[in-house]
A and B are shown apart, each in its own frame.
Chain A
Amino acid sequence: MKRIVKWVALAVVVLGVCGFTAFLYFVPPLMSTAPEEFINGEAAMAPAVDGIADPALRAIAERGRYVLLTTECTGCHVTPGPQGPMPDMYLAGGRQFVTNTHGTVVSRNLTPDPETGLARRTDEDVKRVLRSGVFPDGRPISHTAMPWAQFSNWSDEDLHAVVVYLRHIKPVRHEIPPPAPGVASEIEPGAFEVVSGTDAGKK
């Protein structure tokens, strides 16, 4: 009798583990979340422009928010955390890309933080990056890690709106390391880019 109980208990445990494994494999966590949850999460990260006192600036920033949100700048510029993007680090950067052409680069901090963010840069500097892929020191930017060539198609007015919006998001202190050598195809044969999910920045 006791032996039967033992065997049944063992069978239940084994079946339970197999069942859980099968559940994990066939209904993985991200796939069982409703699309609306991701969609709402994306919009919740992008701060509203209500706080901007000047109505003209607010109208332009609203346009900038629309352009920036629908272009999914968060895909690369939000700080990656263990559970996905960190919502309180909106556009604070830190995702690392090993490219074939420009070494190892880390997505920059786009918040208006005075020491580590865009407050150090003029509007012209920011626009030059988005239009021409050139940093304020003349250094060229990888067009594969950062699709600036695509963003160069924004009209001057939309480009301006994006910059105005970036000036009004929450500043986050997050230091981004400078580029370093490193080639993607050395990490994985045939690869031209390897995108890390760990924050490479310093808080």
Chain B
Amino acid sequence: MPPVPSGSRWIAFSAVSLLLLAVAAGVAQSPAEAPPADVKQLYDRSCASCHGTDGRGHGPAADALNPKPRDFTRGTYKFRTTASGSLPADEDLYRAVANGLPGTSMLGWKGLLSEPQMHALVAYVKQFSPRFATERPTPVVVTTAVPPSPASVERGRAAYESLACGACHGNAGSGADAVAGGLQDDWGHESFAPNLTEPWAFRGGRTATDIYVRLKTGINGTPMPSFADTAKDGDLWDVANYVVSLARKPVWEMNADELKAHYARQVDADAASPVQRGRSLVATMACGHCHTPADSEGRALPGLNFAGGVKFRLVVWGDVVSANLTSDNETGLGRYSDADIKQAFTHGIKRDGSRMLPFPMGWPAYAHLTPQDQDAIVAYLRTIPPVKNQIPPPVRPGVFAYLASKFQMLIGGKDFPIVIFAGNAGSAGTPAGGQAAVVR
């Protein structure tokens, strides 16, 4: 081994000292110490696009999400280990931040953020509600589990019936024959009882203990009550075992034959509830992305859901404005026949016979929807409450402007971008106040 030059020794010494300093700095940031100084910045960057910088659960991306992001200002939390109506324990909030809530957009931040950062976010989120200053969470008592057995499952089935769980979740847990409809949460959003045969999407976890705790605590802010005082503790364990037994196989565990049967069943289920299927398609195909006008941050303008009015500037082609998809008779789709609507979104042909460009509206892709899915979309669009918003017709540039830009494009190779404008170009205008107009 060649002798180490003294210069290198100094470098090594400095490197070790720097490392020690870095470790010391890391220790200073452990959860026992003060939270990271930049917690507001961390929250604004990681959480605010859904929960809002003000914590009201109405960030710019919130409108398209189902379920809606938590409004931290009320201190009402759904998935807790504490009594009905009580505040959540810090561990409950930490669990949501670190592991996420399955089946929702709330991701697990473990691995993306450090432990001190996650603990700091829990503390930051709590300060949005004054309740945390005056109240203490009341934990529920988790008794010894009743082991799962055919007898317990059978008792659970009986208790499930006597507690009328099926009113919302359906008799077999899939919700198919549920009698309760139009459920709402405390924020006025539609609330859907989860399908109990799909435990991978249980927000609060899928084990018997998780389900027992849910039954005991209820889900604050939603129609799901607590059964802590209305049922015997043993019954709750039995119901939990019964719910666990309802699980069906997810597609990623099915073989080819099971998949074929599953997808066929899904088509039948979709046929039986076209509005629900249409709602899901319209949401996932992002129709509202262009047909609901937004402010400059991309936040949906209140009261204009699916009312159109987003202006697109397509140089060479001119200005086009997205159509009003609500059921309004004068300005929306109210007087369109089913065939008119389908012809528009699958072939780009409007009711007056004029053609649409193959962009920005992707009708060449939507043409590949099955006839059943096309009908489902029409069925759902018919249920959208009417909004009066007259959409101006497309405006083409003059002949000379057209030729000039066409020339630049063909000869000069100039790329004219598509410009999308904020605000509503329809007759309803842009509601004053934007986000402040929404009271939540």
Contacts and interface: CB of A to CB of B under 8 A. Distances in A.
B365 A132 contact: no
B260 A192 contact: no
A28 B357 CA distance: 10
A167 to B, nearest CB: 13
Interface stretch (A2-10, A37-45, A107-115, A173-181): A37-45
A195 B418 contact: yes
A194 interface: yes
Contact of B296 (A75, A136, A185): A185
19 contacts: A25-B402, A30-B358, A39-B347, A39-B368, A41-B364, A42-B368, A60-B259, A69-B365, A74-B362, A75-B360, A143-B298, A150-B285, A150-B289, A156-B198, A157-B251, A160-B252, A184-B420, A188-B313, A188-B419
Given A140-B49, A191-B419, A70 B107 contact: no
- Size category of the B interface is 35 or more
A128 B416 CA distance: 33
Given A71-B284, A161-B251, A100 B296 contact: yes
Interface of A: 21, 24-25, 28, 30-31, 35, 38-39, 41-43, 55-56, 58-60, 63, 66-67, 69-72, 74-75, 82, 98-101, 128, 131-134, 136-138, 140, 142-144, 147-158, 160-161, 184-185, 187-188, 190-198
Contacts of A185: 296, 422
B66 A153 contact: yes
A35 B349 contact: yes
Nearest to B64: A149
Nearest to A144: B298
A70 B374 CA distance: 11
A202 B402 CA distance: 32
A74 B365 contact: yes
Q: Which 9 A-B pairs have the closest CB atoms?
A: A72-B362, A55-B256, A72-B365, A149-B64, A144-B298, A150-B286, A38-B364, A143-B61, A138-B112
Interface string B197-209: 0101100000000
B31 interface: no
B103 interface: yes
Nearest to A42: B364
A59 B259 contact: yes
Interface in B244-292: 250-252, 254-256, 259-260, 263, 280, 283-286, 288-289
B231 interface: no
Given A21-B403, A100-B298, A161-B251, 11 more contacts: A35-B355, A38-B358, A42-B365, A55-B256, A56-B254, A56-B256, A66-B368, A152-B65, A153-B283, A158-B284, A191-B421
- Name the prevailing secondary structure of the A interface residues: helix
A140 B46 contact: yes
B94 interface: no
B367 interface: yes
A54 B260 CA distance: 14
Contact of B288 (A25, A142, A150, A158): A150
B64 A35 contact: no
A133 B366 contact: no
B367 A192 contact: no
Contact of B422 (A59, A187, A190): A190
B56 interface: no
A70 B415 contact: no
A150 B64 contact: yes
Nearest to A35: B347
B359 interface: yes
B18 interface: no
B348 interface: yes
Contacts of B106: 132
A100 B64 contact: no
A31 B357 contact: yes
Interface string B385-409: 0000000000000010011001000
B250 A157 contact: yes
Contact of B366 (A28, A67, A72, A82): A72
A153 B283 CA distance: 7
